[in-house]
């Protein structure tokens, strides 16, 4: 197998959670372009079908499965259904997540629990459900979407930072426990990317100027910038990479 063949995902099945739009959809597209059959997941079936249609127009092999990854029961049933009706999941990308901002001393407890369910619990539920199938097969790739906030803080987002720090350490723990079973678990840490969820910040001239000056690459990230890293972590090219967090951030985590 030559080096380019090591990045080939033909014959693999990839489940990407939270993939009806934004970063999740871009990651699914990247894996599909590398040859994988992708399964889009989210809670809104109509959005999933529209996203799948867009990928299908490019000739990619796409399925959709609508289930709520913040529910352990729904996630286990959804994963079992994919295994039964589509095929064995070779790649799991835990992308589902949310952001809630506000002063920590005024942060609502219900919102805290909602954030943790979405950003942390979902990673545990989906990974555990998929690992139940991967472990007997002695192979698999799990990619957890972390963040520069897995390492760095910003005013007004302490709960989000806590959740992404937890995902980073959960990634390492999964790699330790499941590495002996032939499974590689790594994190992908985006910096500041232009998506529909960050459009307000993109449109804020003062924030954008601060960010551009703070980033060695001197720009916002585009979702396409994540494609190569995702394919690497999902492919045989990363078979000896385990418990690593790959930051795709234009150098933000490298500088004060």
Mean pLDDT by 10 residues, the chain (256 residues): 96 98 97 98 98 97 98 98 98 97 97 98 98 98 98 96 98 98 98 92 96 97 97 98 98 94
76: domain range? 5-193+221-250
199: in domain:
no
CA gap 131, 137 in Å, rounded: 10
CATH number of the domain bearing residue 52: 3.40.50.720
- Catalytic residue, candidates 125, 160, 192, 247: 160
210: in domain:
no
255: in domain:
no
132: in domain:
yes
Residue 182 corresponds to which tokens in the numbers above? 């032939």
Report how far apart, in Å, the C-alpha atoms of 114 and of each of 119, 120, 202 are: 9, 10, 25
Instruction: Give the pLDDT confidence score for residue 18 in this predicted structure.
Output: 98
Instruction: Give the pLDDT confidence score for residue 127 in this predicted structure.
Output: 98
| Counted domains in the chain | 1
92: in domain:
yes
Exposure string for 98-136, b = 16+ CB within 10 A, e = fewer: bbbeeeeeebeeeebeebbbbbbbbbbbbbebbbebbbe
Handedness of CA 113, 114, 115, 121 (dihedral sign): positive
Instruction: Give the pLDDT confidence score for residue 256 in this predicted structure.
Output: 85
89: in domain:
yes
Instruction: Give the pLDDT confidence score for residue 202 in this predicted structure.
Output: 95
201: in domain:
no
Instruction: Give the pLDDT confidence score for residue 196 in this predicted structure.
Output: 86
Instruction: Give the pLDDT confidence score for residue 188 in this predicted structure.
Output: 98
Instruction: Give the pLDDT confidence score for residue 149 in this predicted structure.
Output: 97
206: in domain:
no
Instruction: Give the pLDDT confidence score for residue 105 in this predicted structure.
Output: 97
192 tagged catalytic: no
CB 230 within 8 A of CB 188: yes
């Amino acid at each position: 197998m030559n080096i380019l063949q090591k990045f080939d995902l033909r014959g693999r099945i990839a489940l990407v959670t939270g993939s009806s739009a934004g970063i999740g959809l871009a990651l699914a597209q990247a894996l599909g372009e590398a040859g994988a059959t992708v399964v889009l997941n989210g809670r809104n079936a109509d959005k999933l079908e529209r996203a799948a249609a867009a990928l299908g127009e490019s000739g990619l092999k796409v399925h959709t499965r609508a289930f709520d990854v913040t529910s352990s029961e729904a996630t286990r049933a959804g994963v079992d259904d994919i295994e039964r009706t589509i095929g064995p999941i070779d790649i799991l990308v835990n992308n589902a997540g949310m952001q809630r901002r506000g002063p920590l001393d005024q942060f609502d407890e219900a919102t805290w629990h909602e954030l943790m369910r979405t950003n942390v619990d979902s990673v545990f539920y989906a990974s555990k459900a998929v690992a139940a199938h991967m472990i007997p097969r002695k192979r698999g790739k799990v990619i957890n979407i972390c963040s520069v906030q897995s390492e760095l803080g910003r005013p007004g987002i302490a709960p989000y930072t806590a959740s992404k720090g937890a995902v980073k350490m959960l990634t390492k723990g999964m790699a330790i426990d499941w590495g002996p079973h032939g499974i590689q678990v790594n994190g992908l840490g985006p910096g500041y990317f232009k998506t529909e969820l960050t459009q307000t910040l993109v449109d804020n001239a003062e924030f954008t100027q601060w960010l551009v000056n703070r980033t060695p690459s001197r720009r916002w990230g585009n979702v396409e910038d994540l494609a190569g890293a995702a394919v690497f972590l999902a492919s045989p090219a990363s078979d000896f990479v385990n418990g690593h967090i790959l930051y795709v951030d234009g150098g933000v985590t490298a500088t004060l």
